[in-house]
Amino acid sequence: MTNYQAMDDAPDYLHRGRRYDVVRLRDPSTPRMLVSKRLADGAEQEYAGALAGLRNEARILERLQGLPGCTQWVDFDASAKSLIVEDFEGVALEDSGLLGRVDLDQFLTLAAQLATVLAAIHGRGVIHKDINPANILVRTETLQLQIIDFDLATTIAEEHRGFDSLNHMLGTLAYLSPEQSGRMNRPVDYRTDLYALGASFYALATGSPPFRENDPAALIHAHLSRVPVPPRQGAPWLPASLEKLILTLLSKEPDHRYQSAAGLVHDLAVMQECVKRKKFLDDIPLKRGDAPLTLRPPRRLYGRDHELNRLIRALSDAIAGPSQALFVAGYSGIGKTSFIQEVYRPLTLHAGLFIGGKFNQLQRERPFSAPAQALRQLCHFWMAEDEHVLLRRRSQLVEGMENEISALFEVLPELSVLLGPQPTAPELGPIDSQARLRSLLVELIHRAASPGHPLVLFLDDLQWADQPSMDLIAALLQASNPGGLLFIGAYRDNEIDATHTLTHVLKLPTATGIPVPILALSSLSCDDTAQMIGDMLCMQTDTVSSLAAAVHRKTAGNPYFTFEFLKSLCRDGSLERNLNEEGWRWDLDKITASLSSENVVDFLTAKLVELDPAKQEVLSIAACLGNDLTLGGLELGAAIPVDELIELIRPALELGLLVTSSAMLFHQASRETKLRFCHDRMQQAAYQLQSEEQRALIHLLIARRYAAMNGESDNPFVAAEHYAHAVPLLADESERAQVSDLFLRAAIRARRAGSFAVAERFLRLGCSLLPVESWRAAPDAAYQLHAELHLALHCQARAAEADVVYRQLSDHAARPLQLIRPACLQLASLTTRTLFADAIALGCDLLRRLDQPVPLADLAASTERELDIFYRHVDNGALERLADSPELTDEYLLGVAIMMNRFLSMAFFIKPEIAYWLIMRLARLWLEHGYSPAMINCMVFSIVPTVALRGDYAAGGLAGRMAMNIGITRENGLETARARLLFCVFNFHWFESLEEGVANARLAFSELVRVAGLMEYAAFICYSLYVALVTQIETASLPQVREELVKATQFSDRMGNVLFEQILRTLRQWACALEGTTGDSGGFSSGEFDEETHFRQLAANPVALIHYHVYRAMTACLFRDSEALHRHVDAALGLASYIVTFYLSAVLSFLHSLSLIERLKCNDPQSKTHEPAISASANPD
């Protein structure tokens, strides 16, 4: 501003605002007056985009230079942060006194000028986006006009507004088009200016805008749904045709407005001519000279009326409750996303939110990619709420999940910002962590939805979904909640088959018991295609029938392909505007010879190759980065400064190859600007611009850039994704080692999210980068990778492969403590496969390596000695002091405790004698060295050896109850949840009523589900389930019992838990026998179930075998089969050590008594030889 002078000593302010001040200046070199628009004091700090807006306005005005009726650019002084323009010397239309006070001639004069100026602006590729009376200057004497304030203007062809917070909207709300609200599923293009112009015409005629609500939400609601009061009520002098013109501009649907300002100019000129000739204006036809500036797809849906009705009905049903779900299937380009987004407007009218995420073909490894996108949008909505609303929101989200909700922060870092610091969630095993994460995400979604504020969750391209996301969708569908949620999933049905994971999810019953309905969108018919093309070309349907038939043959009625095919015809001259007449003309012979829809990527590529190589390369990099892209991410991936990058991608945005949700953020060079390709096929075309070798190199460069960045939690995972495409290019040993470590970190993150297959892929890639003889050359890296690989294989139930990896770990472990975690997993795997001898050998071997050998040669005596030590501690008051035990900190003893805790859980069902020694040894560690959560269960288990070996219920029962209470106080996590359940299984029924025992078993079950999910400890969960069912047999119907047992059996079978699956099959057949649906009275054979085969399969599973004998003896008793009763009781007695203190031991004792009585009645000499083998363990008295 040093070259220009203020009018006087004091600045002549024309306007003072929060962002900008407008000051009148004098140009000393000429007589002209100037205006400076400059940043207001403090605006740069308070409004991040203020200076960028000024720069954007300067760029736009340079593009519009010389257009009459536009602000005339003079200079942009970057140092002074000031834009210099010529002074029009007018006043704002809103302050001119003209609004509501003009006559017809004045109105037409002003309206025609505005339309002419706007047509010229649009002709230069600019959209103003804030037309309103405050941004229109007028010279009241001559009625000359000028449009000002282009800081929000853009040259981007279409802005795809997201469903953003009302607080983030730019522009003047009273003149804002419906699509600018982001709640209409329509892009913001030049027709948004026509709506704002219509609202300005309305104000010019009547004195006020169409809607005058003070509340922003109510004003947006009006723009979306209300019809304006006819302007003739406020301006009776308006002719009917002029009123219709204004209301046409104010159409909610952009396709129903004028399609160009030039068409508006034409009609206003006709009206002016009629006034000049004193003709009536009432019957003037409108839009005769109207034609779109460019070929663009109409936004209405064709041939979808039935499906659209079902979609809107599903939303209505979700609002009324209960929640609803829909799947939408169709080929790529069929219009699934546009169809689904038709819920925007009705959802907004019910104060609802729409959140969505999209899976990406190049990022299938990323766990929860689409759900995370959607839920991040939700967090941003919440963070934009008023502070008092936000406080209630925080409380609602955290309530009841205080100890677990932080487990979501790795997937949703925005949630941690929203909620603030939260307690660290208890550490769980991988499968349990996955189950907890899934459960928390479902709960978060449910808490976000209510009938008063409905939520639509849309996940697109499910055919590319990762497994954790599929599991989340399944859980969401099967969970029940009061209502307000509509889940919509879209997928390409031509890209899935019977083996695809999605196929299974599609068949799952929901909480209502029936699968989710599927809306299949088919291709358009030839008639629908003709209607679509007619609307695009502004021609009658019958006029374009020959063109439509030719296009339909090529595109098979795919809407997106049809549009792109028409654009390709325009490029090669087969379709062109008829300059001498209205409409278009086409060459059918050339069209017939053109490419078909099967080559859609080829003719999309043809658009891209028109760009220069540098711009093509940037688009290829963007394609490699995926569809969840920001300007900052592209800056990092391309290693191009953001200012240069903007100029490289601006043409793609202006051509509509890329789209953004905020043109303003782009013009502000904000790194938060969201970018995406206009369609997946366009992304594919951009990706294929480069050869396979070039793409691998691009991925490598992107990976290196992301790997070099610190701070962002996503960067290592993103780097690993790109390195995975470029492993063959890694030659440097140092880089190979670094990338191997990166793959390990990415695998751990994937595993924590439950994406075990992805974790395995990264781990195998990491192993492939290790040096030859890696166990010798890089032992630590090799061990870490193989330990994680063993875990990933275990979580995928690929036991044989996990066995091989475990042997490698066992052979190469530098110290035995390293082996504890993989050994615990291996023990669980061997036990569930009933490889009991291998499990015992493994546990004993590792304890030997830990210098805690199991005394197999002297087991009974050693256990007695441990019991003696236990009782000495009890006698000395150790149990009373148990709660005051110090925390165990010794790394070695902690490792021993973890190993023993897991081993005793397995040994109990295999070799009870070993379990007794482990229980007492681990209890001794607590009593003598201090507390660890891994010791809680040994105290609960202690009742078993005290009863079995000393006939003492009191000491073990007290120790178990105290340990459980200490766990609740000090840990209250997984080990405590297991302790609750174990206490119900082994202790509770000896001291409390069965009714209380059942209630506590259900409580323990719920707690274990809350903490651990239904995975790793499924055996215990299933066991509690059947205990609760069996003990309520008098009040529960047999079909219900059997149905629950079938579910539990299928669950154990799915988890590969042979041990408990065999028990549950026995119980299921027991219920069938009681119903009378088995072949023999009291027998278990029925249909495909053969009792003899089942019995033989139990030979290696003593726990399952004793359950079979006890329940088979029960049915024999009920059906008066004495021989079977005696046989099965005798067999069960030989296995009684496997159920010591179980409730089942009391049942066996009772059946044994009945058997003895029956034998006495029959004078069976064997009755006198039977000792009451389990009477001590069945009777605490």
Task: Encode pLDDT of 416-445 as tens digits.
Answer: 888 888 888 877 777 778 888 888 999 999
* Lowest mean pLDDT, pick from 301-310, 657-666, 943-952: 657-666
Mean pLDDT of the chain: 86
For tokens 């009870």, the residue is 912
What residue ranges in 193-348 does DSSP mark as E strands? 324-329
- Range with lowest mean pLDDT among 158-167, 258-267, 980-989: 158-167
Judge whether 520 and 329 are in contact, CB under 8 Å. Answer: yes
- How far is 773 from 880, CA to CA, in rounded Å? 56
746, with CB counted inside 10 A (0-12, 13-18, 19+), is: buried
Does residue 309 surpass a pLDDT of 50?
Answer: yes
400 Rama sector, left if φ>0, alpha if ψ -120 to 50, beta otherwise: left
Distance from C-alpha of 767 to C-alpha of 761, rounded to nearest angstrom: 10
Kindly state the average pLDDT of the residues 284-303.
82
Mean pLDDT of 493-520: 89
Question: Which of 177-191, 383-397, 670-684, 815-829 reaches the highest mean pLDDT?
Answer: 815-829
pLDDT for position 292: 80
Rounded-to-integer distance, Cα 741 and Cα 766, Å: 7
Which token pair is 550?
Answer: 């030719």
Q: Which two tokens stand for residue 1084?
A: 């278990």
- pLDDT score for 1037: 64
Q: Model confidence at 390, in pLDDT bands (50, 70, 90)?
A: confident
Unique residue bearing structure tokens 């658009």: 607
Tens of pLDDT, residues 924-973: 999 999 999 999 999 999 999 999 999 999 999 999 999 999 998 988 77
Buried/exposed code over 1138-1172 (b: 16+ C-beta within 10 A; e: otherwise): bbbbbbbbbbbbebbebbbebbeeeebeebeebee
- pLDDT score for 299: 75
pLDDT digits (tens, 9 = 90+) for 733-784: 999 999 999 999 999 988 888 889 999 999 999 999 999 899 999 999 999 9
Maximum average pLDDT range among 386-390, 715-719, 811-815: 811-815
Does residue 832 surpass a pLDDT of 90?
no
Tens of pLDDT, residue by residue over 997-1048, are 777 777 776 666 666 554 444 444 445 444 544 544 444 566 766 666 676 6
Structural contact between residues 793 and 760, judged by C-beta atoms closer than 8 angstroms: yes
- Share of residues in the chain with pLDDT > 70 (%): 90
Q: What's the pLDDT score for residue 1010?
A: 60
CA distances for 556 relative to 114, 482, 822, 1003, angstroms: 43, 43, 55, 58
Band of pLDDT at residue 681, cut at 50, 70 and 90: confident
248 pLDDT exceeds 80?
yes
- pLDDT given at position 1166: 59
Supply the DSSP symbol for 935.
G
Question: 20 pLDDT exceeds 70?
Answer: yes
- With bands split at pLDDT 50, 70 and 90, how would you rate the model's confidence at 413? confident
Band the pLDDT of 1168: cuts 50, 70, 90. low
Q: What is the mean pLDDT of residues 1102-1117?
A: 92
Distance between CA 732 and CA 759 in Å, rounded? Answer: 24
pLDDT for the residue 341: 87
With b for 16 or more beta-carbon neighbours within 10 A and e for fewer, the 515-545 pattern comes to: ebeebebebbeeebbbbbbbbbbbbebeebb
Do the bridges between strand 485-491 and strand 324-329 make them parallel or antiparallel, or are there none, so unpaired? parallel
pTM across the whole model: 0.76
Q: What is the 8-class DSSP label of residue 514?
A: S
pLDDT in the model for residue 381: 83
Q: What is the pLDDT of residue 28?
A: 75
For the CA atoms of 1139, 1141, 1147, 1149, the dihedral, rounded to the nearest 10 degrees, stands at 90
pLDDT digit string, tens, across residues 1125-1158: 999 999 999 999 888 988 889 899 999 999 999 8
Looking at residue 168, what is its pLDDT? 61
Q: Give the span between the Cα atoms of 1052 and 797, in whole angstroms.
A: 12
- As a whole number, mean pLDDT of residues 284-300 equals 81
- Residue 781: the pLDDT is 96
Query: Is the confidence at residue 1, as pLDDT, over 50?
Result: no
